[in-house]
Structure 1
Amino acid sequence: MASIPKLVILLLCTCLHTLVAHEGYDLRTYKVLHAGSLKSAAVNCSQPKVTPSSGGVTVPLHHRHGPCSPSPVPSTKAPTLEEMLRRDQLRAAYIRRKYSGVKGGAGDVEQSDVTVPTTLGTSLDTLEYLITVGIGSPAMTQTMLIDTGSDVSWVQCKPCSQCHTQADSLFDPSSSSTYSPFSCSSAACAQLSQSHEGNGCSGSQCQYMVKYGDGSSGTGTYSSDKLALGSSSVSNFQFGCSQSESGNLLEDQTDGLMGLGGGAQSLATQTAGTFDKAFSYCLPPTPDSSGFLTLGAATSGFSKTQMLRSSQVPSYYGVLLEAIRVGGRQLNIPASVFSGRSIMDSGTIITRLPATAYSALSSAFKAGMKQYPPAQPMGIFDTCFDFSGQSTINIPSVALVFSGEVVVDLATDGIILDSCLAFAANSDDSSLGIIGNVQQRTIEVLYDVGGGAVGFKAGAC
């Protein structure tokens, strides 16, 4: 049995528990989590502690329901964790449906016998992170959700027959000297119609429509205008000028959505010529702190794995998860379990794993947590613990291993959420994994589209 460092003993004296090094686990592979951090933390809305890997432009990124949010939402509007997990399950199921027929393999793979839904996602409710930009000349401040699973960006515009309330003023096209609606005969309108069924023309102007899986929708004029990002600007940025909404979209309180997907309409694709087809972000550890989004991110200094793309589902960025380590030990999971890709998704909250992989992870994690009583499952979480009376909690490390022997050691915030293991199993027999935003916290995630790689850099925010 491994010896127990004196510092660990001192930390646990007030907890009435003694940490026992279970067979096969090295105490050095445990992480210390302070119990108070499970519920709240000191507010720190300052810029990230580490300078982003930037050769382009960086803008602050905040949690939509946190005190650092540039678009404050009343606390009564913030969903409970149970509500968030329920909505998250719908988004994960939607992504799996989109990939239901995608063949495995590297690079640009084809798809067979698949009908790609025209909806863009389940709803905006699972999107959690905001940036502030300027649109128009002069620039009008707009606070927008980011989503790596969406391509079409949009904001609410005047005149609006049916829009939700928002903190900023509605974008007014008539006040911008650089605003221009696309005509029905424009190449941009033809491209939009080809890639997003249901978009097209009304009179002489190009019309866009976004549909979400919960039945909500938004529609308006497909347009272009100047986009201000920090100290940089993008001319002729294409976006939807939303003038009518329905369903749950009317309950949202943000100004719009910024699409960072891999399709033709996304911000990442539109600015590829300016920012070298690379962007990165760092999601903060808690809603009480800040992260960043960088366009034109420097691509050096990252641990990189191959980016997998599908020509039939171009919005999503895929990677190949090959193994999982718990407490420094690699789990005995057959390679065939990870035969499918995993999607890096900023809009999915909790990482989804094939059922066999999740079962192995849950069992190994429980074995390393025997000093804490089990607690009742909560929603999609079935590996929960009772930390009552604890001031510090010792949890086994968890690392995700991607192709190319890229090992991503998760922060404590990416392992435990509200006293539960922050992973879930697919609700069906799908081999598709989804790397959610909880597991991405504090890590600068690089999307090097030009280089065909996804990169990771720990401790960036």
Structure 2
Amino acid sequence: MASISKLLLLLLFFSYHSLIAHAGEDRSYTVLSIGQKTDAAVCSKFKGAVLSVQACTHLRFPLAVPSWSSGAGATVPLHHRHGPCSPLPTKKMPTLEEVLRRDQLRAAYIQRKFSGAKAAGDVQQSDATVPTTLGTSLDTLEYVITVGLGSPAATQTMLIDTGSDVSWVQCKSCSECHSQADPLFDPRSSSTYSPFSCGSAACSQLGQEGNGCSSSQCQYIVTYGDGSSTTGTYSSDTLALGSNTVKNFQFGCSHEESGFNDQTDGLMGLGGGAQSLVSQTAGTFGNAFSYCLPPTPSSSGFLTLGAGSSGFVKTPMLRSSQAPTFYGVRLQAIRVGGRQLSIPTSVFSTGTIMDSGTVITRLPATAYSALSSAFKAGMKQYPPAPASGILDTCFDFSGQSSISLPTVALVFSGGAVVNLDANGIILDSCLAFAGNGDDSSLGIIGNVQQRTFEVLYDVGRGAVGFKAGAC
């Protein structure tokens, strides 16, 4: 009996620890180096790359990309758009004030779309998705991929966004376009380009994002939360993702846009709607994708379609009929310094979404207050500092080359525990979280907290997963 009991305890131990995604060791404090700049002019190598592939090597298509992610599908490098690995010519980083102001626009817009939804009745597990007109402030989007479009493939540098479905690029000749890194996509130069007719199924599927007809060709329009918009011809062409090819990829060929001031060529929608890249390629790569957002602009990550599911801690994926583009999760608790905070589970009942475009994680007011208080208690050795925009738990690290931080862990339904990387706890000397005005607003897991983790969106199996230290 004694040996059986020991075996049972051992099995329980390993079962418990398999539900924890660690970023570093499991302890109550972690150390963050602050003595060196994170926006260095040198691009670091992929952490898990094979053959020591250089992260910022800018190759043109066709491009064979090594498999450094957990999946066997199509994988492409992912870069911070302002970092030294980015193919974009403009490297100037926006100020923190600018980033937080734009981030607040995006978060507020997303929360307005969910304001009538109640988690108990509206948010549920479901594989069904439908198109949505939900848009967001693009200014906060930070990560880009490079793809090939057309035959022969023309290089296009595109923002990624899990909060959008319709993908688009600026096309030649457009009447109103912003300047971009690569030449405008020219449909006339592609032998595989085809605009959709107004009576096509693809055009009907656009729903409210349809914009009528022009010369018998289907027109689309996407309007985002900050008032920016893009409109043009809804089309299809061949898409190159590394060494993989996607035929008849549906996208918007933008002829007129407003409100954009970056150097990107367009946007790749990774949302849950029918028009997204993920939905379109489900038959080829499977209905799952993952990405790893790098911790700094000088390092790189990846985006994988057809991601494998092994090695992840997982929590059920939730979907909302009111805004089906988004991927929801159930945050249940928060731990600071290894101790779970006294937050009633009902505080999280409105629900939480994963969003690659929101920078700062938004928590219900009660949860954020408890987190802020506990974190301050663990940071007594550092003097407080004035608030920085929406970040109000800030510290003075003058003269410090490294700082000791209380660990912060997010606990999700199903028992998944995600121990955040130190870079996901502190942003510019402040706790990298913000509180909603009350407990009824939607929670958002932003990209700061997602950095260094491979985040899995297994739509087919209804799960979101986390794997620490992936990039």
TM-score over 0.5 (shorter chain): yes
Aligned mates of 1:131, 1:330 — CA distance in 2: 38
Show the counterpart of 1:283.
293
Show the counterpart of 2:240.
228
Q: Structure 1: which amino acid aligns with 2:201? A: A
Answering whether residue 201 of structure 2 is matched by residue 187 of structure 1, we say: yes
Of 99, 112, 120, 1:84 maps to 99
Answering whether residue 396 of structure 2 is matched by residue 386 of structure 1, we say: yes
Answering whether residue 170 of structure 2 is matched by residue 156 of structure 1, we say: yes
Answering whether residue 277 of structure 2 is matched by residue 262 of structure 1, we say: no
Q: Structure 1: which amino acid aligns with 2:124? A: G
Superposed displacement of residue 83, structure 1: 0.6
Show the counterpart of 2:319.
309
Summarize the Cα distance change of 1:28–1:188 in structure 2 as closer, same or farther, 3 Å threshold: closer
Superposed displacement of residue 28, structure 1: 3.7
Summarize the Cα distance change of 1:27–1:145 in structure 2 as closer, same or farther, 3 Å threshold: closer
Equivalent residues of 1:108, 1:311 under 8 A apart: no
Summarize the Cα distance change of 1:68–1:205 in structure 2 as closer, same or farther, 3 Å threshold: same
Aligned mates of 2:270, 2:38 — CA distance in 1: 30
CA distances 1:333-361 after superposition (whole Å, capped 9, x unpaired): 01110112110000000000000000000
Superposed counterparts of 1:16-35, under 5 Å: 28-35=27-34
Answering whether residue 109 of structure 2 is matched by residue 94 of structure 1, we say: yes
Show the counterpart of 1:54.
71
Aligned mates of 2:445, 2:42 — CA distance in 1: 27
Q: CA RMSD in A?
A: 1.9
Answering whether residue 364 of structure 2 is matched by residue 354 of structure 1, we say: yes
Aligned mates of 1:73, 1:143 — CA distance in 2: 13
Equivalent residues of 1:337, 1:431 under 8 A apart: no
Q: Structure 1: which amino acid aligns with 2:315? A: T
Show the counterpart of 1:376.
386
Equivalent residues of 2:41, 2:84 under 8 A apart: no
Q: How high is the TM-score relative to the length of structure 1? A: 0.89
Show the counterpart of 1:137.
151
Superposed displacement of residue 46, structure 1: 2.5
In structure 1, stretches of 5+ residues that fail to align are 1-25, 110-115
In structure 2, stretches of 5+ residues that fail to align are 1-24, 50-67
Show the counterpart of 1:425.
435
SS at match of 1:55: coil
Q: Structure 2: which amino acid aligns with 1:222? A: Y
Summarize the Cα distance change of 1:428–1:37 in structure 2 as closer, same or farther, 3 Å threshold: farther
CA distances 1:222-281 after superposition (whole Å, capped 9, x unpaired): 0000000001010000000001112x22x1210000000000100000001111100000
Summarize the Cα distance change of 1:92–1:457 in structure 2 as closer, same or farther, 3 Å threshold: same
Q: Structure 2: which amino acid aligns with 1:84? A: V
Aligned mates of 2:132, 2:247 — CA distance in 1: 31
Aligned mates of 2:125, 2:351 — CA distance in 1: 12
Superposed counterparts of 1:200-239, under 5 Å: 200-239=212-251
Show the counterpart of 1:341.
351
Give the share of equivalent positions with the same residue, in percent. Answer: 75
Equivalent residues of 1:320, 1:340 under 8 A apart: no
Aligned mates of 1:118, 1:451 — CA distance in 2: 25
Summarize the Cα distance change of 1:274–1:339 in structure 2 as closer, same or farther, 3 Å threshold: same
Answering whether residue 192 of structure 2 is matched by residue 172 of structure 1, we say: no
Show the counterpart of 1:8.
none
Equivalent residues of 2:132, 2:323 under 8 A apart: no
Summarize the Cα distance change of 1:190–1:117 in structure 2 as closer, same or farther, 3 Å threshold: closer
Which stretch shifts more, 258-267 or 41-50? 41-50
Superposed displacement of residue 203, structure 1: 3.2
Q: Structure 2: which amino acid aligns with 1:66? A: G
Equivalent residues of 2:432, 2:448 under 8 A apart: yes
Aligned mates of 1:90, 1:428 — CA distance in 2: 17
Q: How high is the TM-score relative to the length of structure 2? A: 0.87
Aligned mates of 2:386, 2:460 — CA distance in 1: 46
Spell out structure 1 runs of 4+ moving beyond 3 A.
37-45, 116-119
Superposed displacement of residue 371, structure 1: 0.2
Equivalent residues of 1:48, 1:292 under 8 A apart: no
Show the counterpart of 2:42.
43
Equivalent residues of 2:38, 2:298 under 8 A apart: no
Aligned mates of 1:31, 1:42 — CA distance in 2: 27
Superposed displacement of residue 179, structure 1: 0.1
Aligned mates of 2:26, 2:232 — CA distance in 1: 57
Equivalent residues of 1:269, 1:277 under 8 A apart: yes
Superposed displacement of residue 44, structure 1: 3.4
Summarize the Cα distance change of 1:54–1:345 in structure 2 as closer, same or farther, 3 Å threshold: same
Q: Structure 2: which amino acid aligns with 1:376? A: P
SS at match of 2:306: strand
Equivalent residues of 2:27, 2:407 under 8 A apart: no
Aligned mates of 2:226, 2:309 — CA distance in 1: 37
Aligned mates of 2:249, 2:302 — CA distance in 1: 21
Aligned mates of 2:303, 2:241 — CA distance in 1: 10
